């Protein structure tokens, strides 16, 4: 392992080399093993502080970071715009310059439009590593934990595994593109053939698709887009069905919600899973609309690895903090 990740920001996995990511996987494995064997590792970040700035709510991301740094011997501060001077207009520069004097790392979640710009600006002034806890474009901690889960389940043999990112029907609100975009960028770099399935209006950003295609070409794997969910699921080794908004088609919220309602059949049930490889994985970052975008039969069924994914957020985020902040 190369000790060159100290102080490095993680805004998107695209900024990290494959070797960087393999180092994260290795440390994640070690920390997970230690925890299972009850071997303490609370000297790694002893007395270190991780600031967590949330513009939106979280169950997994927040608690994995907070429990994680406690297990590494440090402490996390939970911050919101209202609990700081950010709501009064304090700039990205002033916020991070001051926090850099107090602590050792910072995570930010801002998945509303403009979130990635805010994070990038803040990181440009930071003297401590800044980790993206989800923005409008990327969700790197989730995608890396998902890669770790897939590696575990397939014993690192990912060559030409068919990985399907599929849009699903989930009404009520518009979800960001970040999860689908992060998966589209990361999985081809690790030798998987990626299929992206969605109704036409639910396309991802063109610059992300272009980069995902380049990543696939470099790795010698396929990256394809289809508008047919059944075709995507056929013989898939991993399916990752997840809702996102028609953000590239319309900025009008009501029009977006109406478009989602056009596709109520884009849901995952046992018939869909029967199209996949017998050993396939059903994955979801959670939270999901149980009983709407996926049946409980599938979510709790033999293909589902959703709780392993959620658990691996803990080990993975500990590895990220240990490598960037120690």
Is residue 61 near ligand CP by the rule CB under 6 A? yes
Question: What are the two backbone dihedrals, phi and then psi, of residue 164, each rounded to the nearest 5 degrees?
Answer: -110, 120
Least distance to ligand CP, CB of residue 271, Å: 26
Q: Determine the longest span between alpha carbons in the chain, in angstroms.
A: 55
d(CA 174, CA 262): 14
Beta bridge partners of residue 162, listed in sequence order: 193
Is 275 a binder of ligand CP (CB under 6 A)? no
**Which residues, 99 to 138, sit near ligand CP by CB under 6 A?**
134
Integer Cα distance of 31 and 67 in angstroms: 13
Choosing from 174, 209, 257, 286, the residue that interacts with ligand CP (CB under 6 A) is: 286
Q: Which two structure tokens, joined as six digits, stand for 23?
A: 């180092």
Binding of ligand CP by 58 (CB under 6 A): yes
Instruction: Give the orientation angle of helix 18-36 with respect to helix 306-325, to 10 degrees.
Output: 110
Give yes or no for residue 80 binding ligand CP (CB under 6 A): no
Of residues 154, 202, 149, the one with CA closest to residue 180? 202
Nearer to ligand CP, 135 or 323 (CB): 135
Encoded one letter per residue, x for contact with ligand CP by CB under 6 A and - for no contact, window 146-165 reads: --------------------
Judged by CB under 6 A, does residue 60 bind ligand CP? yes
Q: Tell me the closest approach of the beta carbon of residue 4 to ligand CP, in angstroms.
A: 27
Is 142 one of the binding residues for ligand CP (CB under 6 A)?
yes
Tell me if 295 contacts ligand CP by CB under 6 A.
Answer: no
Does 285 engage in binding with ligand CP (CB under 6 A)?
Answer: yes
Closest by CA position to 317, among listed 1, 52, 114, 37? 52
Distance CA(60)–CA(188), nearest Å, equals 25
Residue closer to ligand CP by CB (options 219, 285) is 285
What is the C-alpha separation between 163 and 223, in angstroms, rounded? 10
Contacts to ligand CP by CB under 6 A: 58-61, 134, 142, 285-287
């Amino acid at each position: 392992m190369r000790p060159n990740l100290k102080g490095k920001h993680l805004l998107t996995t695209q900024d990290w080399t494959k070797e960087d990511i393999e180092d994260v996987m290795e440390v994640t494995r070690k920390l997970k093993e230690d925890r299972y064997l009850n071997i303490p590792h609370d000297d790694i970040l002893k007395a270190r502080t991780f600031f967590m700035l949330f513009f939106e709510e979280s169950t997994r991301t927040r608690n994995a970071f907070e429990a994680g740094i406690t297990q590494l011997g440090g402490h996390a501060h939970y911050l919101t715009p209202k609990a700081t001077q950010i709501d009064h207009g304090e700039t990205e520069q002033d916020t991070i310059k001051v926090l850099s004097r107090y602590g050792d790392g910072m995570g930010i979640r801002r998945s509303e439009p403009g979130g990635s710009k805010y994070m990038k600006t803040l990181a440009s002034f930071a003297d401590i590593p800044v980790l993206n806890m989800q923005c409008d474009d990327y969700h790197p901690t989730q995608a890396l934990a998902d890669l770790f889960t897939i590696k575990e389940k397939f014993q690192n043999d990912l060559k030409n595994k068919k990985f399907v990112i599929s849009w699903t029907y989930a009404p009520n609100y518009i979800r960001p593109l970040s999860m689908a975009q992060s998966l589209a960028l990361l999985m081809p770099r690790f030798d998987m053939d990626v299929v992206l399935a969605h109704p036409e209006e639910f396309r991802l950003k063109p610059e992300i698709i272009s980069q995902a295609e380049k990543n696939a070409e470099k790795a010698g794997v396929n990256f394809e887009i289809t508008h047919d969910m059944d075709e995507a699921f056929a013989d898939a080794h991993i399916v990752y069905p997840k809702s996102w908004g028609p953000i590239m088609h319309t900025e009008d919220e009501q029009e977006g919600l109406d478009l989602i309602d056009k596709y109520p059949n884009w849901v995952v049930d046992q018939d869909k899973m029967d199209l996949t490889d017998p050993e396939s994985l059903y994955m979801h970052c959670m939270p999901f609309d149980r009983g709407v975008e996926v049946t409980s039969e599938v979510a709790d069924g033999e293909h589902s690895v959703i709780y392993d994914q959620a658990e691996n957020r803990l080990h993975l985020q500990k590895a990220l903090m240990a490598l960037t902040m120690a």
